[in-house]
Structure 1
Amino acid sequence: MKRNGLLLILTVLFTTLQQPANAQFPVMGGATPSKALPGTAGDQSPKGSGKITGSILDSTQAKPVEFASIALINKATGKTVDGTVADEKGKFSLTKLVAGQYTVLVSFVGFRNKTLENVTLTNGQSLELGVIKLSANVKTLEEVTVTGQAALIEEKVDRLVYNADKDIAAKGGDATDILRKVPLLTVDLDGNVSLRGSQNIRVLINNKPSTIVASSVADALKQIPADQIKTVEVITSPSAKYDAEGSGGIINIITKKNSLQGLNLNVDSGVGNRGSQLSLNGNYRKGKTGFTLGGFGRAMYNTITRTQLDQTSEINNVSTLTRQTGDGRSSGLFGQYNLGFDYDLAKNQSITAGVRYGVRNFVSQQDLVTQLFTDGTPGSSNKRNVDAKNLSGTIDMNVDYLHTFKPQQEWSISTLYSRNDLTNNFDADLLSNSDVLTGRQRNVNKNLNQEFTLQTDYQTPIKKNQLIEFGGKAIFRQVNSEYRYLIAGPSGNFITENNGTLGELLYHQNIAAGYTSYTYTTKQRYTFKGGLRYEHTFIDASTREGGTLGVADYGVLVPSVNASKTIKGTTVKLGFNRRIQRPGLQQLNPNFNAANPQVITQGNPSLRPELTNNMELGLSKTIKKTFINATFFGRVTNNAITQVSQPSDSLPGAIVTTFQNIGRQHAYGANIFSNVAVTSKINIGLFLNAFYTSLTGQAMSREGVSTTMKNTGVNVSGGTFASAQFKNGWGAQAFGFMSGSQVQLQGRQGGFGFYTVGIKKDFNNKKGSVGFAAENFLSNRFNIHSVLNSPMFSQVNDVYLYNRGVRLTFSYKIGKMSMDAPRRKAKSVNNDDVKSDGNGQTQGGGTPGGQSRQ
């Protein structure tokens, strides 16, 4: 796109201000959606010059109540003369009112109605009602308390929200266990996450990025305890305010926080046959100052896999068949520790600071037995015992400032420094068929990913029904990777292989971005919002061996538009956005990883970004106690980044997999979700994801000439969950998920299944709880069968997982807290701009999830 041709185009996002029941799932307490307010058509009422404003707050959670209903009732006649609903920040405004005495009625599903009597309004007066607090809908019936509960899943204009704190089976697990249950998402058994079939997503933690997520989403999720997650937001159509990165969308994990006065300490622990965990989290608040301190540690063990690989390759008219079996074991220690501070500088100003350190020590062993056949004749055979270490330490530090001038007018400055030191090494012992040590190999690969971000945002209302937002952002990122191979005999010291020197990648990536967004609300309750974002990326990349790589700078203009409107009880949502996906650390890393010399991986530092256009149409409706949502989407990606495999020129029978910009990828499909409140105590959900995909790219032919490849097919996944609440603090939950095989450029990656059940008992007035959960307990193992092929090779890979699991959990809360007034927190940096390849596992290397990425 020519720079001189760039035009500032404000497209429109279209949002509804509709009744809350039409925007949420039925609550577990059995509440049904409220009817539309009578008299809300302001055009039918006498016009005046008065105005009433205010905001709605949840008295328990100290957070805004979105889309609460406000009715204005004439005190003399008892009739409703006007009405509205609160916005996403809980704020509302009634205008053009005549003078008189009124009653204000505030209502929302799951809360008690709030009535404000004797509200007197004079001509031309702007009456501010302040903060109106709603309390939970609690009824006492002969010592039995029935409490209205938040829905397990909520739908909003641009995202789906999964309330993870309602998940009782996740105690003792990590974020992977939570994300498996979120509609629209698919999480494989390695923890690699995809959204509508695309792994090109951005994962945030409390609206903040982290360099560990840029390196590996799967590893990052293992460091987040499940019982510290409050909600998971799946943002399918991000606005211009978000970074342009994440062609599939954005996942935002919100951890539990509070704004209470006093001191408290939460202790959570769990032990099982495949993992154990312990976490301590404390909060202290006194007046304007608050502190948080927390630590979490988790151990994984008894993780066993078995693999069987058959692959055929052809080089120079010589066919080589590889048959390989492997037995693998893995263990890991994961931890995360954080310290936070916030302070109210003034009534309308606040500052927030924090530091978080994450550690990962993941170790795996694999014993491989390989037999080669050349043109059908048995050839060499060997044994190989590999010890691999995947270690990292990550630190994130942020300072954020927020200044609120008046409702909806605010200015913020945010900073973030993030650093991830990653070590990915392996040692291999080479054995003869009689188990005699014949040699040793070592691959040393040290990586550093660090970045500094500076961001500022400003928003202000224009008149009463318009809002404008704009801001700027700068990211300074540096990636270093040093790598080398060492060899040794059965004894003695390691030496550099082939007398070679160290290899190194130095990759500087700086990003400058600016955005603007405009919102306009009509009298008919249509809200139009459009945004435009421009990002320019400056790259300086080189390797020690090859010098400057010549990766050019590039700019991208990113429009976004969303729309929603409720028509006769059915909510219709439309969305369009353009997204960019930059390559991640492991995709750029040129280290030649031959832990399994028959299945080799190598990054590509010359990768270009991919650009995706996303379109979606959503329909949702509540029918009695059943909520149904169906979303139809289309995605077209140019320059798509995916894994491409081909035979090695130097290693007989070996397949080398790297990342390439393959060309174009199309995906068209639907997500269907249904939630049923069977009774006030039993809730059941069903979800189905299905899409057709088409991939087109380049691969080598038998003649050594690049040829066009195309692969198409349908991907299907789905699942169900059920939860129940009983007397005396007892609860139970069950979940099951199944994913079919996934279409890749050169074949299909095998499907997988996962299921779990759990029970929990609360005691001591919910200060403590004990729980038990079991997963995959009906079968001894699960087989993931993957098939890849091209004109020059074919590969059949079977991975057998032994993942039965049980765990016992315990939690207890110490301390006493009192409710504080709600406070506005400083906003945080939100980097959504780097693609991750999951956990970087290799094809046939002993674990699933190492096939081509979509």
Structure 2
Amino acid sequence: MIYRFFVFLILITLYQTTAYAQRGPGGEGFSRMPAIGRVYGKVVEAGSKQPVEYATITLMSGTKDSVITGALAKANGDFSIDKLPMGRYKLRVQFIGYKTLYQPIIITPNNVEQDIGNIKIEADTKALNEVTINAEKQTVNMGIDKRVYSPDKDLSARGGTALDVMKNIPGVTVDGDGNVALRNSSPTIFIDGRPSTLTLEQIPSDQIDRIEVVTNPSAKYDANATGGILNIFLKKNTKPGYNGMITAGYGTNNRYNLMASLNIKEGKTNFFISYNLNSAQNPTKGYTNRTNLTNEIPTGSFKQDNSSVSGRMMQNGRIGFDYSITNRSTITLSQAVMGGDMTNVDDQTYIQTGAGNTVLFKGDRVNNQTTKWRNYTSQIQFRQAYPKKGKEWTTDLTYNRSERENDATFTTNNYDRTSTYLSTDKQLNAGDGNSNMLTYQFDFTLPLTDTSKIEFGVKANYKEDKTILNVKNNGLFDSILSNNYNITDRVNAAYITYSSMVWGIGYQGGVRFEQTRFTGELIGKNLTFEYYYPDGTKNLAKAFFPSLYLSKKLGGNQEFQLNFSRKINRPDFMQMMPFIMFSDKQNYRIGNPNLSPEFINIAEINYNKIYTNGSILSSVYLRQTERAITNYVYQLPSDSSILVSTFINGNNSLAYGWENNVKRTFANKKLDITLNGTIFYTTISASANNMQLQNSGISWNAKAIASYKFPKQYTFQANGSYEAPRIIPQGTTKDVYSIDLSLNKEVIKTVSMTLTLNDVFNTRRFGTFYESETFTQDLSRRRETRFLRLNITWRFGEMDTSLFRKRKPNRESLGGGMEGDF
């Protein structure tokens, strides 16, 4: 059935895009432009501010008195005139007994819909000033508390996932496990401004419209966003008519992807639907080399080589619609369904030696793991705007459900020192679980003057997670490794901020209150643990999180910013659950139920300068963490050959750094270069097992993106990155570096092809080096290997049209200028 739907969709769009362009009546100065403009507002009596029913609204040519179209105000004073071509107009408002009012209107591709507010008609009304908006999307757009990055021009990420986009964002790094870090800290991930159970690898890059990067979130945002916020906004077009895109790609390592999307805006309704499929395999290799020490003298070693093949198959679909109840009231309903299968086969060979490099035993192990997941996201949103610019309130309810199955087989063959076979151990893991998360949020923005406003809101988030893991070793149930646990996490919050300006300095001050309760229970083992803030009145102060932002605009397109905030980082259930999780035969992982939240104080100084051909953004930041949650590795007391990884609360942590972003264009805007560099210092200290841990050091990372537009619609892009070794509590990470190359060809106005070679020199490896009094360990692994991928994209649509009424000839097709929507 789904194939018939896509065949029908393609036939419809092929038929529509063969139409000839329509020359609309148009305003002055714009010819052969689509009729997609809209002007709306409300007519009120100036004295009583009551609506003026049946006032006559006439739209005339900008330089002549010829009438283009018109409308009558409704009983509540609302009016709306749509299907307007680009151009200059005069809006005339008339009613018996009132002075006629004229207002200039300009409709441009960047300002299609205009809310002209409440029009007050009286004897001495003055015409409102003409306002023209011409905005070009920038790679970096700096606001008082966030930066906006647009991935549209990132050729290397096409056909990939959100992780491919993240690795190219300045200041963001991605490690070998797909974990994202912003300035060496873990950020909070939002999708369309709300929490989600999706991972970055489950989000197709072609569906991303923009990513907001908030390095130091204000009181408006969650207090647990200690590592900043990465807010991913998915594409949704709102221009009249219909439009869509189909992308297909194929690459080495069984890599293929398909994406199709369609938007239809008809009258008060905007409908959107999309589907994505992404599949890949990654053959990788890694190793672990460990040396045991006694009084700094080697007493044995453990060496292991890994050869893995991981695969993924992911699909997701999204459907929804917006309905404009009035000109300023909109309700949105959306539903997303996502699912996938992930597999990993890891072949390991290992050897354990004793003093004098004497072989003690050998072995090989095959880990065969399969994960299946399904995600469902339902959301209802309501937005109410007002005639006063900037005044609005929004409310929404989001429900996320996640279901997962995890099955694994670990087969270990044991050999003695002479390679004589001894035995085979087989461990079977059968796990499944589900989580439910309900989020409600209300936000209100109230402008007081042109330079001041109040924002306030509330948020409630409830999440429950249930997981069952049954383990059998050689056919016998293992009660130690088997677990059945429930997690309940509740966070209720309220915030208020005030923004204004004094002596030319913009400021925003605010405070957030959050009530937290986290409960974990191991079913059948009589183990429970929890933490909650505030606990009565004794730690009430720890539930308040203030923020302060200052900004000063200088001459020459310059701006300074200074900001402060306080955050909380709550340990998650994987960090707290006291059960053993295996990485391999010689490496275990276990949670710490005694972990407590860490508190972080963050400060930043930012400088932004915009030039004619580029910009520079420089930031100095400081992070001071109390009771820092720290990873700690130790040898198992009963078997020194096994390393156990867990988490502890350290004494404190201090980090500060300097980040710079530079963007320049050369050669008549044919060459774009974006550079990013960050240098930072970190110090960590902690106490564990009667040992004092302390480490400090300087590290840095750099990124560069160069794009050049050649003749005949060719564009070449090169991406390069380098991450220097950085400290961890018991050692350092290894450096990571790579280069990606991409070539794009606009075949015709609606079809483009992109060829990407990822990790050209196959150098993107991740590793760590641990060092303590009792052991050293050198570990290396990869997330993916070099691959080549080709993507073909077809954009279709017609802006001034309807799919649901009789077709008129000579409509404006996509070739008339709609390709910029995607």
Does 1:457 find its partner at 2:443? yes
User: Of residues 665, 677, 696 in structure 2, which corresponds to 1:677?
Assistant: 665
Aligned to 1:405: 386
Cα distance in 1 between the residues matched to 2:213 and 2:309: 33
Change (3 A) 1:120 1:398: closer
Aligned residue pairs, count: 687
Aligned to 1:301: 281
Change (3 A) 1:802 1:234: closer
User: Of residues 731, 743, 760 in structure 2, which corresponds to 1:759?
Assistant: 743
Partner deviation per Cα, 1:608-656 (whole Å, 9 max, x = no partner): 2221111011122245534222110000111222321111134440101
User: Of residues 725, 744, 747 in structure 2, which corresponds to 1:741?
Assistant: 725
Q: Contact 1:313/1:647 (CA < 8 Å) preserved in 2?
A: no
CA RMSD of aligned residues (A): 3.4
User: Of residues 794, 815, 820 in structure 1, which corresponds to 2:797?
Assistant: 815
Letter in 1 for 2:777: Q
User: Of residues 746, 754, 760 in structure 2, which corresponds to 1:771?
Assistant: 754
Aligned to 2:676: 687
Q: Contact 1:481/1:589 (CA < 8 Å) preserved in 2?
A: no
Q: Contact 1:384/1:431 (CA < 8 Å) preserved in 2?
A: yes
Q: Contact 1:345/1:351 (CA < 8 Å) preserved in 2?
A: yes
Letter in 2 for 1:817: M
Cα distance in 2 between the residues matched to 1:379 and 1:152: 58
Q: Contact 2:395/2:441 (CA < 8 Å) preserved in 1?
A: yes
Q: What is the CA-CA distance between 1:533 and the residue it aligns to?
A: 0.4
Q: Contact 2:375/2:400 (CA < 8 Å) preserved in 1?
A: yes
Identify which range, 355-364 or 425-434, moves more after superposition: 425-434
Does 1:446 find its partner at 2:435? no
* Identical-pair percentage: 24
> For 2:156, what is the secondary structure of its paired residue?
helix
Partner deviation per Cα, 1:561-587 (whole Å, 9 max, x = no partner): 111112243321111111122223433
Partner deviation per Cα, 1:380-410 (whole Å, 9 max, x = no partner): 2211111122332211111111222332332
Q: Calculate the TM-score normalised by the size of structure 1.
A: 0.75
Q: What is the CA-CA distance between 1:514 and the residue it aligns to?
A: 0.8
User: Of residues 410, 419, 424 in structure 1, which corresponds to 2:401?
Assistant: 419
Change (3 A) 1:409 1:682: same
Aligned to 1:393: 374
Does 1:637 find its partner at 2:625? yes
The runs of 5 or more residues in structure 2 that have no matched partner are 1-32, 40-100, 535-542, 803-822
The runs of 5 or more residues in structure 1 that have no matched partner are 1-57, 65-100, 137-148, 213-219, 489-493, 701-705, 821-854
Aligned to 1:243: 222
Letter in 2 for 1:343: Y
Letter in 1 for 2:386: F
Cα distance in 2 between the residues matched to 1:175 and 1:446: 26
Cα distance in 1 between the residues matched to 2:400 and 2:232: 18
Within 5 Å, give how 1:485-524 maps onto structure 2.
485-488=471-474, 494-497=475-478, 502-522=482-502
Q: What is the CA-CA distance between 1:63 and the residue it aligns to?
A: 12
Cα distance in 1 between the residues matched to 2:205 and 2:770: 35
Aligned to 2:545: 558
Cα distance in 1 between the residues matched to 2:105 and 2:799: 30
Partner deviation per Cα, 1:646-704 (whole Å, 9 max, x = no partner): 1113444010112222232110111011111112211112111110000111233xxxx
Cα distance in 2 between the residues matched to 1:251 and 1:63: 33
Change (3 A) 1:425 1:655: farther
Cα distance in 2 between the residues matched to 1:813 and 1:304: 36
Q: What is the CA-CA distance between 1:427 and the residue it aligns to?
A: 0.8
Q: Contact 2:224/2:568 (CA < 8 Å) preserved in 1?
A: yes
Cα distance in 1 between the residues matched to 2:610 and 2:190: 31
Does 1:797 find its partner at 2:785? no
Structure having the higher Rg? 2
Q: Contact 2:339/2:373 (CA < 8 Å) preserved in 1?
A: yes
Q: Contact 2:155/2:742 (CA < 8 Å) preserved in 1?
A: yes
Aligned to 1:192: 179
Cα distance in 2 between the residues matched to 1:259 and 1:456: 23
Q: What is the CA-CA distance between 1:127 and the residue it aligns to?
A: 4.8
Partner deviation per Cα, 1:301-334 (whole Å, 9 max, x = no partner): 143223242242679x995521212212211112
> For 2:152, what is the secondary structure of its paired residue?
helix
Cα distance in 2 between the residues matched to 1:270 and 1:809: 4
Q: Contact 1:314/1:320 (CA < 8 Å) preserved in 2?
A: no
Q: What is the CA-CA distance between 1:785 and the residue it aligns to?
A: 4.4
Cα distance in 1 between the residues matched to 2:367 and 2:481: 24
Q: Contact 2:445/2:456 (CA < 8 Å) preserved in 1?
A: yes
Change (3 A) 1:814 1:423: same
Change (3 A) 1:239 1:303: same
Cα distance in 2 between the residues matched to 1:188 and 1:60: 48
Q: What is the CA-CA distance between 1:207 and the residue it aligns to?
A: 1.2
Q: Contact 2:725/2:733 (CA < 8 Å) preserved in 1?
A: yes
Cα distance in 2 between the residues matched to 1:642 and 1:445: 28
Partner deviation per Cα, 1:147-194 (whole Å, 9 max, x = no partner): xx5332222222222211122232222111211111121123442211
Q: What is the CA-CA distance between 1:428 and the residue it aligns to?
A: 0.9
Letter in 2 for 1:599: N
Q: Calculate the TM-score normalised by the size of structure 2.
A: 0.77
Aligned to 1:339: 319
Cα distance in 2 between the residues matched to 1:565 and 1:107: 32
Q: What is the CA-CA distance between 1:528 and the residue it aligns to?
A: 2.1
Cα distance in 2 between the residues matched to 1:755 and 1:61: 43
Partner deviation per Cα, 1:715-771 (whole Å, 9 max, x = no partner): 210021111223432212111001111210111111211211111112332x11111
Cα distance in 1 between the residues matched to 2:611 and 2:242: 44
Q: Contact 1:269/1:809 (CA < 8 Å) preserved in 2?
A: yes
Cα distance in 1 between the residues matched to 2:512 and 2:410: 49
Aligned to 1:572: 560
User: Of residues 346, 353, 357 in structure 1, which corresponds to 2:337?
Assistant: 357
